[in-house]
Amino acid sequence: MPRQRSKTSVKDAWKLKKWYNIISPDAFGKVQIGLTPADSEEKLNKRTVEITLFDITGNYSHVNTKLKFQVNSISEDNAYTVFKGHELLRDYLRSLTRRRSSKIAIILNVTTKDGAKIRVTSAVFTQYRCKTSQKQTIRRIMKDIIESKGSQLTFDEFVRQAVFGDQDESLAQEITKAAKKVCNIRKVEIIKQKVIELPKNIVNPQEATN
């Protein structure tokens, strides 16, 4: 039989751990988003953290947006993170799909102004079923806007415009303005972002405060 660790050894292991404040990236206000234990900085580095956008903003309309951060540097009791991606919850996406309407989706690899590479999944949900030619036009609009924004914006700027779809000049708002000239649009969402490569000139968060 495998040896079971005693309750005393478990307690001792916990006593050796140190608690660190998890700090969000600059794009999300560099605020504390939680606490995590670790018995060494090496084990804490590269640890991933998942929260909802609601946990940062307190805005209930953001509860369906899941954020993924990764610890990239530690200073004293603070574990600073970088953005690794976001994704909308599946239940929310299912609620947007309706009969007699169209969902037009596209996946693009985008390079930002400062060299970050991001895979972006976006979708347009229409009021009524649209024609094939309309779908093609809307896909072209989505591609042009997302790629153009990517080339003009820094990593942080692009991430915010993709995540905060309810704000003016966001990717979702810009696509809605252009696509509604083609057919009736019910909703536009940036469904997912996955960071393939961070910008090479990214600054460690603790250095930015010095």
Q: Same structural domain for residues 78 and 109?
A: no
Planar angle of CA 25, 161, 175, nearest 5 degrees? 160
- 18 and 31 belong to one structural domain: yes
8 Å CB contact between 49 and 34: yes
Residue pair 117/162 in contact by the 8 Å Cβ criterion: no
Q: Do residue 56 and residue 107 come from a single domain?
A: no
Same domain, 99 and 155: yes
CA-wise closest residue to 205 among 24, 51, 44: 24
Length of the chain: 210
pLDDT at 8: 53
Whether 94 and 77 map to the same domain: the answer is no
C-alpha to C-alpha distance for 58 and 62, rounded to whole angstroms: 8
Section 22-26 average pLDDT: 95
Q: Are residues 95 and 190 in the same domain?
A: yes
Domain range spanning residue 41? 9-86
pLDDT in tens, 30-49: 999 999 988 888 888 899 99
Question: Between 179 and 10, whose confidence is greater?
Answer: 179
**What tokens appear for 11 in the block?**
């307690």
Mean pLDDT over residues 125-143, rounded? Answer: 96
| pTM of the entire predicted model | 0.86
Query: Tens digit of pLDDT for each residue in 152-171?
Result: 999 999 999 999 999 999 99
Co-location of 97 and 186 in the same domain? yes
Round to whole Å and give the CA distance between 190 and 164.
9
Q: How far apart are the first and last CA of the chain?
A: 54
Residue tagged 């779809």 (tokens)? 165
Residue 192 lies in a domain: yes
**Domain end (from 37, 57, 86):** 86
* Contact residues for 10 (Cβ-Cβ < 8 A; gap 6+): none
Residues 79 and 106 in one domain: no
- Number of domains observed in the structure of the chain: 2
The CATH number of the domain holding residue 137 is: 3.30.479.30
Token pair belonging to 62: 């953001």
Please count the other Cβ atoms lying within 10 Å of the Cβ belonging to residue 169.
Answer: 10
Where does the chain show beta strands of DSSP type E?
A: 18-23, 32-38, 48-52, 65-75, 78-88, 103-111, 117-126, 185-197
